[in-house]
Amino acid sequence: MTDRRGFLKAAPLAAALASAPAVHAAQPALRWRLASSFPKALDALHAAAEQVAQQVSAATGGRFQIQVFAANEIVPPFGVLDAVREGTVECGHSASYYYIGKDPTFAFDCAMPFGLNSRQQNAWLVDGGGMALMRELFAGYNIVNFPCGNTGAQMGGWFRREIRSVADLKGLKMRIGGYAGQVVSRLGVVPQQIPGADVYPALEKGAIDAAEWVGPYDDLKLGFYKVAPYYYYPGWAEAGPQLSLYVNRQGFDALPAEYRQILESACAAAHVAMQARYDARNPAAMKKLIEGGAQLRMFPRDILLACQKEAFALYRETAAANPQFRKVFEPWNRFRSEQHLWTRIAENSVDAFVGRHPVE
Amino acid sequence: MTDRRGFLKAAPLAAALASAPAVHAAQPALRWRLASSFPKALDALHAAAEQVAQQVSAATGGRFQIQVFAANEIVPPFGVLDAVREGTVECGHSASYYYIGKDPTFAFDCAMPFGLNSRQQNAWLVDGGGMALMRELFAGYNIVNFPCGNTGAQMGGWFRREIRSVADLKGLKMRIGGYAGQVVSRLGVVPQQIPGADVYPALEKGAIDAAEWVGPYDDLKLGFYKVAPYYYYPGWAEAGPQLSLYVNRQGFDALPAEYRQILESACAAAHVAMQARYDARNPAAMKKLIEGGAQLRMFPRDILLACQKEAFALYRETAAANPQFRKVFEPWNRFRSEQHLWTRIAENSVDAFVGRHPVE
């Protein structure tokens, strides 16, 4: 190898560093707690927080440690935002649409029904003006937010019987949360809030008729296909739900600049990895679900049209009543329309062709 | 704010650090050079290397500096791999399919015609076994590789006249590189290798009939629509072309473990950001192209089918002759088939619905 510059200069310094552990003391030793909204059993979701902790530790020689606590170990799943806001923990990993009760504007940080897919969400945040708007929202909650994972488009849920038209939604008891629950309630669905562990027995007994969960990889674990075999797609309610890392503002500001950058970059790595894990693992899980008896169905077009119409009617009503929401909705909605025009051309057409024409 | 733990502990240490600049000397001061394959004018491509340099500097308090050189400032665009391999520069940013002349296996690290889209490429590398295969390939070239950007699905190129069937490809002189050039040459196209700056005059004079470039954001700058107005999609040759950061093996091994992690995380952040920039900027550029007279056309299905068939025939021939290629192709091809089955269900169906049903 021709070592023209740099490497030989670096090597002795690295060796010197290795033999002088005392220098580590020069950087602040920190030990943070991270509260996750997710149980360890949802391993692809939970792994993002673990990955951030691992990379931050590796990038600081173990001086900045983040200990990850699963849902309910410190606070309940929906308590993460308040815990970070109040400094009960220095940081948290959550889905921002859990907090639409505080302000529906939080949904833009995660998933809006018929909103952005995961790439469009990244585009909006990184280069479409979205991050400034989201930072402003979270600043009001004493939090600095970082994108930290995405599941990609989810499935539409498990149904005990087939859904053939909008009329079939009337009176349907469905476990479906957040904004999507509000959308379908306008079409007669009775949304139910049920913890994950209770969904299976509720479906089995017929206490509910349907349940939205995540996608094949996570859904397989819970066995819904055994009691509600109709597996509908697409998950229009969550076409690209993003997870975020929340950092308490005072905690973030007290970090050395190096640690702030290290934390941000580690979130980006976890952001890529979560989507990659879901994409890599969903196909095999879907195969197992179908072998187990799941009946794949696409939502009829009239249902999709009705849901989209109600979603946007709801957004406009919310925007009229909530200036914070309106300030985000208007530019987001323009961005969304332009994105879908473009996505349809190059990206979707090649995927659609390849999907329809498998190589022999 | 209830500061239950951590922050107050952190703050005095951070303050102490700020008042003791001498501690910085404990970490090795490094100055690396990065050779990019891209000119500054392709700013969305070029920005990834700049972002890596910026984040690495910020994460190390300026102790690890990477100076970015655009194409031809140190080595020509296609000389980056050799420059990193030989240690002329410590690292480089390039598109691996530039090196299929050395080994066609390099195409898997960037783009295979009718291969993976950008999310599928991430899935393959992060969680589908792809990274181990690519690391093995690059190890033979004294390089450690990191994904560092993706453009998303490109466009199919600019044509002086409409292309209605496979017969229209016979004798067509087209600027198209790499593997895609080999694919279309099997259908009678005469692939041309022409530097970017010479493409416009060649199209204008009719020295060539067509040219593949990138997508709306980059294509707009070069004005091809004025001389070859038919703008074909999809860019089947590059459905998710990935860029990579190459690091000289000895240089990487000599880095402190902290710097290795910092470099890896910074690449992930740049990886997200490049795709986001292209996605955010392509729609407005496409609008300007169409206003300028570009005529949008989708490749006829018989052309797509013929190209896909020839692409896979070429892969199988290459695999039969090249054990390195075969070792990657076989698992990649299984992964690809499963991915496209899944992508078609949740992801494509929601995008397709929204694309076809704009909100009034």
> Given B3, B20, B351, which is nearest A87 (Cβ)?
B3
What pLDDT score does B66 carry? 98
Out of A80-84, A341-345, B166-170, B229-233, which region has the weakest mean confidence (pLDDT)? A341-345
What the block records as the tokens of A22 is: 């005392």
The CATH number of whichever domain residue A305 belongs to comes to: 3.40.190.10
Report the number of distinct structural domains present in chain A: 2
Which residues in chain B touch residue A125, judged by CB atoms under 8 angstroms apart? 276
Assess whether A55 and A96 both reside in one domain. Answer: yes
Assess whether B48 and B137 both reside in one domain. Answer: yes
d(CA B246, CA A251): 35
What pLDDT score does A26 carry? 66
Q: What's the start-to-end Cα distance of chain A, in Å?
A: 45
State how far the alpha carbon of B359 is from the alpha carbons of A311, A312, A314, A315, A341, in Å.
10, 8, 13, 12, 12
Q: Which residue from A minimizes the CA distance to B357? A: A305
B14 is a domain residue: yes
Of B121, B277, B131, B345, the closest CA to residue A119 belongs to B277
A120 is in an annotated binding site: no
What pLDDT score does A23 carry? 41
What average pLDDT does this structure show over A24-51? 91
SS (H, E, C) B206-270: CCCCEECCCCHHHHHHHCHHHCCCEEEECCHHHCCCEEEEEEEHHHHHHCCHHHHHHHHHHHHHH
d(CA B271, CA B255): 22
Q: Which residue from A minimizes the CA distance to B14? A: A256
Q: Which residue from A minimizes the CA distance to B253? A: A11
What the block records as the tokens of B7 is: 């922050």
B310 is in an annotated binding site: no
Contact A33, A74 (CB under 8 A): yes
Indicate yes or no: CB of A262 within 8 angstroms of CB of B354: no
pLDDT at B207 over 70: yes
B98 is a domain residue: yes
Contact A254, B253 (CB under 8 A): no
Residue A189 φ/ψ, nearest 5 degrees: -70, 145
Contact B145, B109 (CB under 8 A): yes
> Given A1, A127, A349, which is nearest B142 (Cβ)?
A1
Of B54, B66, B27, B62, the closest CA to residue A63 belongs to B27
Out of A1-10, A261-270, B25-34, B162-171, which region has the weakest mean confidence (pLDDT)? A1-10
> Given B59, B281, B349, which is nearest A258 (Cβ)?
B59
Q: Which residue from A minimizes the CA distance to B29? A: A10
Which residues in chain A touch residue B342, judged by CB atoms under 8 angstroms apart? 216, 279, 282-283, 286
pLDDT at A20 over 50: no
Q: Which residue from A minimizes the CA distance to B24? A: A26
B339 is a domain residue: no
Type and span of the H or E element at B277: helix B257-291
Indicate yes or no: CB of B344 within 8 angstroms of CB of A359: no
pLDDT at A8 over 80: no
pLDDT at A2 over 60: no
d(CA B270, CA B53): 10
Which residues in chain B touch residue A215, judged by CB atoms under 8 angstroms apart? 346
d(CA A94, CA B119): 22
The CATH number of whichever domain residue A102 belongs to comes to: 3.40.190.170
Assess whether B312 and B179 both reside in one domain. Answer: yes
B345 is a domain residue: no
What average pLDDT does this structure show over B214-243? 96
> Given A251, A277, A348, which is nearest B10 (Cβ)?
A251
Which residues in chain A touch residue B281, judged by CB atoms under 8 angstroms apart? 127
What the block records as the tokens of B281 is: 């900027």
Query: pTM of whole model > 0.80?
Result: yes
What pLDDT score does B339 carry? 95
Contact A282, A215 (CB under 8 A): yes
d(CA A241, CA A191): 19
A120 is a domain residue: yes
pLDDT at A341 over 50: yes
Type and span of the H or E element at B68: strand B64-69
Assess whether B124 and B273 both reside in one domain. Answer: yes
Instruction: For residue B10, name the pLDDT band (cuts at 50, 70, 90).
Output: very low
> Given A61, A286, A305, which is nearest B357 (Cβ)?
A305
Range of the domain at B118: 7-153+239-279
Best residue of B112, B124, B231, B265 to probe chain A, by most A CBs closer than 10 Å: B265
Q: What is the pLDDT of residues B255-313, one digit of tens each?
A: 999 999 999 999 999 999 999 999 999 999 999 999 999 999 999 999 999 999 999 99
Contact B212, B235 (CB under 8 A): yes
What pLDDT score does B26 carry? 66
Q: What is the pLDDT of residues A130-151, one digit of tens each?
A: 999 999 999 999 999 999 999 9
Q: Give me Rg for the CA atoms of chain A.
A: 22
Indicate yes or no: CB of A279 within 8 angstroms of CB of B120: yes
What is the nearest CA distance from A207 to chain B, expressed in angstroms? 27
What the block records as the tokens of B305 is: 């089918």
Best residue of A348, A356, A357, A360 to probe chain B, by most B CBs closer than 10 Å: A348
B37 is a domain residue: yes
What is the nearest CA distance from B203 to chain A, expressed in angstroms? 23
pLDDT at B1 over 90: no
Q: What is the pLDDT of residues B30-54, one digit of tens each?
A: 999 999 999 999 999 999 999 999 9
* Angle (deg, nearest 10), helices B118-127 and A118-127: 100
Contact B25, B258 (CB under 8 A): no
Q: What angle do CA A173, A178, A181 make, to 5 degrees?
A: 30
d(CA A316, CA A329): 9
> Which residues, including other chains, have CB under 8 Å from residue A73's CB and lie 6 or more apart?
A35
Assess whether A90 and A148 both reside in one domain. Answer: yes
Which residues in chain B touch residue A295, judged by CB atoms under 8 angstroms apart? none
Q: Give me Rg for the CA atoms of chain B.
A: 22
What pLDDT score does B7 carry? 37
pLDDT at A12 over 80: no
Type and span of the H or E element at B304: helix B301-321
Assess whether B13 and B114 both reside in one domain. Answer: yes
CB pairs below 8 Å between A and B: how many?
Answer: 367
Sheet containing strand A230-233, strands side by side: A190-192, A173-175, A210-211, A157-159, A230-233, A295-298
Longest dimension (CA), chain A: 74
Out of A220-224, A309-313, B23-27, B258-262, which region has the weakest mean confidence (pLDDT)? B23-27
What pLDDT score does A346 carry? 84
What is the nearest CA distance from A262 to chain B, expressed in angstroms? 6
What pLDDT score does A237 carry? 94
A213 is in an annotated binding site: yes
> Given B86, B128, B344, which is nearest A1 (Cβ)?
B86
A286 is a domain residue: no
Indicate yes or no: CB of A235 within 8 angstroms of CB of B346: yes
What is the DSSP code string of B143-200? EEEEEEEE--S---EEESS---SGGGGTT-EEE--HHHHHHHHTTT-EEE---HHHHH
SS (H, E, C) chain A: CCCCCCHHHHHHHHHHHHCCHHHHHHCCCEEEEEEECCCCCCHHHHHHHHHHHHHHHHHCCCCEEEEEECCCCCCCHHHHHHHHHHCCCCEEEECHHHHCCCCHHHHHHCCCCCCCCHHHHHHHHHHCCHHHHHHHHHHCCCEEEEEEEECCCCCCEEECCCCCCHHHHCCCEEECCHHHHHHHHCCCCEEECCCHHHHHHHHHHCCCCEECCCCHHHHHHHCHHHCCCEEEECCHHHCCCEEEEEEEHHHHHHCCHHHHHHHHHHHHHHHHHHHHHHHHHHHHHHHHHHHCCCEEEECCHHHHHHHHHHHHHHHHHHHHHCHHHHHHHHHHHHHHHHHHHHHHHHHHHHHHHHHHCCCC
Type and span of the H or E element at B330: helix B323-356
Longest dimension (CA), chain B: 74
Write down which residue in B228, B255, B279 finishes a domain: B279
Share of chain A above pLDDT 70, in %: 93
Assess whether B50 and B145 both reside in one domain. Answer: yes
Pairing of strands A173-175, A190-192: parallel
Assess whether B267 and B171 both reside in one domain. Answer: no
Write down which residue in A279, A311, A340 finishes a domain: A279
What the block records as the tokens of A39 is: 């149980």
Residue B113 identity: P
> Which residues, including other chains, have CB under 8 Å from residue A353's CB and lie 6 or more apart?
B234, B236, B301, B304, B308
Indicate yes or no: CB of B119 within 8 angstroms of CB of A279: yes
d(CA A84, CA A65): 17
d(CA A38, CA A46): 6
What the block records as the tokens of A187 is: 């079409």
Residue B223 φ/ψ, nearest 5 degrees: 70, 20
What pLDDT score does A81 carry? 98
Assess whether A169 and A248 both reside in one domain. Answer: no
What is the nearest CA distance from B286 to chain A, expressed in angstroms? 8
Mean pLDDT of the residues in chain A: 92
Which residues in chain A touch residue B254, judged by CB atoms under 8 angstroms apart? 7, 10-11, 14
Indicate yes or no: CB of A346 within 8 angstroms of CB of B215: yes
Q: What is the pLDDT of residues B83-141, one digit of tens each?
A: 999 999 999 999 999 999 999 999 999 999 999 999 999 999 999 999 999 999 999 99
Assess whether B227 and B85 both reside in one domain. Answer: no
> Given A235, A280, A342, which is nearest B123 (Cβ)?
A280
Contacts of the segment A169-172: beta carbons below 8 A, 24+ positions apart: A169/A303, A172/A209, A172/A210
What is the nearest CA distance from B14 to chain A, expressed in angstroms? 6
d(CA B9, CA A115): 42
Contact A170, A161 (CB under 8 A): no
Name the more confident of B191 and A352: B191
Contact B147, B271 (CB under 8 A): yes
Write down which residue in B227, B254, B279 finishes a domain: B279
What pLDDT score does A167 carry? 97
Mean pLDDT of the residues in chain B: 92
Assess whether B103 and B25 both reside in one domain. Answer: yes
- b or e along A58-87 (b: 16 or more beta carbons within 10 Å of the residue's beta carbon)? bbbbebbebebbbbeebbebebbbebbbeb
What pLDDT score does B347 carry? 87
Instruction: For residue B350, name the pLDDT band (cuts at 50, 70, 90).
Output: confident
What average pLDDT does this structure show over B201-212? 97
Instruction: For residue A359, name the pLDDT band (cuts at 50, 70, 90).
Output: confident
A125 is a domain residue: yes
Out of B70-84, B209-223, B284-298, B343-357, which region has the weakest mean confidence (pLDDT)? B343-357
Pairing of strands A91-94, A242-248: antiparallel
Instruction: For residue A13, name the pLDDT band (cuts at 50, 70, 90).
Output: very low
Indicate yes or no: CB of A234 within 8 angstroms of CB of B349: yes
Which residues in chain B touch residue A359, judged by CB atoms under 8 angstroms apart? 114, 308, 312, 333, 337
Assess whether B243 and B272 both reside in one domain. Answer: yes
